[in-house]
Amino acid sequence: MVGALSGNLAMEATYLKAINQALHEEMARDENVFVMGEDVAELGGAFKVTEGLLTAFGEERVIDTPISESLIVGAGVGAAVLGMRPVVEMQFADFISCGFDQIVNTAATLSYRHGGKASCPMVVRAPSGAGVHGALFHSQNPEAWFTRVPGLKVVAPATAYDAKGLLKSAIRDDNPVIYFEHKRLYRSIKEDLPDGDFTVPLGKAEVRREGRDLSIITYGGTLHQSLDAARIVEKEDGLSVEVLDLRTLLPLDREAILATARRTGKVLVVHEDRLTGGIGGEIAAIVADEAFDYLDGPVRRLAALDTHVPFAPPLEEFVLPNTNKIVEAIRNLAAY
């Protein structure tokens, strides 16, 4: 994994705890970092991600806000312009749409409008993703709304190590960063994290599994499903599948995308966002444009169906990608 590893391994941490640790450490490191959002102070956040911050840093740096995403993002932009480093929380990523104007028309354009003489070092934390029976207003993956906006950076960690390291890098970055954290991963994955300060660089993908026959390009909530599927087809079909975790969606690590495509000659893009208009289409275009001569089959995509996420668990499972669907897609592409 990428990062400056130092010291001995610390206690095992969940994805959620890794984010909490990053916030604690960055607020202790830099007094300009503060947290703002709905219920982030007294309650410690709807998912307890900000638990303990109020006690450690006080009410001037851990601020409960009204239920108004446009207010939260707008206040964050103003604070960032004045030299602060706000970390603002959308209680659910679905409601980031209420702050859309402030993000894409104000934060993303600020440096450009001022000829590079001003910056907007703000992080927007957005708990995203389905598979938690949250239905249509608490299950969305809205990353593709932002991956076409110059001036933004967009990250989607899939491991506890990356959840911590990418958030620390995002807080230190001078650009506005949308930080999508998958709700299903909060307590379902754990990892030993190193002691001491470490970061994960924005814009760098990571090969999670090396392979020869086919590449899966994925991120966020579908990484672990893809790894499970790769292990299944290796055991049952003898297929060697490489898995590339994008980690950052804007900017994309084009070199890593093209390198894995050229190594295996077959590419399957997997994400939990809906198929139409998802970032998988852009990745497929990059591979087709710049690695066509290396391909032994069409670039395939597997994503959620083009519908809203249902509440009923069987219907939700039907709509979303999962390990079994990825296994089937691997076999179909490998047989091409």
- Whether the pLDDT of residue 4 is over 60: the answer is no
pLDDT given at position 1: 37
- Taking residues 119-129, report their average pLDDT: 98
* Dihedral (Cα; 36, 38, 41, 45), 10-degree rounding: -110
Q: pLDDT confidence of 6, banded at 50, 70, 90? A: very low
- Whether the pLDDT of residue 190 is over 60: the answer is yes
- Whether the pLDDT of residue 8 is over 60: the answer is no
Cα 73 off chain centre by = 19
pLDDT given at position 5: 39
Pairing of strands 123-128, 177-182: parallel
**Which residues are catalytically annotated?**
138
**Cis status, amide bond into 251, omega within 30 of 0:** yes
CA distance 80 to 77: 5
CA distance 333 to 336: 5
Share of the chain above pLDDT 70, in %: 97
- Taking residues 98-110, report their average pLDDT: 97
Q: How far lies 106's CA from each of 34, 35, 83, 122, 286, in Å?
A: 20, 20, 16, 12, 29
- Taking residues 19-38, report their average pLDDT: 98
Class of the CATH domain delimited by 206-334: alpha beta
Q: 206-334: same fold as 10-194?
A: yes
* pTM for the predicted model, two decimal places: 0.95
Judge whether 297 and 336 are in contact, CB under 8 Å.
Answer: yes
pLDDT tens digit sequence for 39-83 = 999 999 999 999 999 999 999 999 999 999 999 999 999 999 999
Q: How far lies 67's CA from each of 54, 86, 179, in Å?
A: 19, 17, 20
Q: Domain 10-194 is classified in which CATH homologous superfamily?
A: Thiamin diphosphate (ThDP)-binding fold, Pyr/PP domains (3.40.50.970)
pLDDT tens digit sequence for 209-241 = 999 999 999 999 999 999 999 999 999 999 999
In this structure, the number of other CB atoms found within 10 A of the CB of residue 60 comes to: 7
Give the residue extent of every domain in the chain: 10-194, 206-334
pLDDT tens digit sequence for 234-267 = 999 999 999 999 999 999 999 999 999 999 999 9
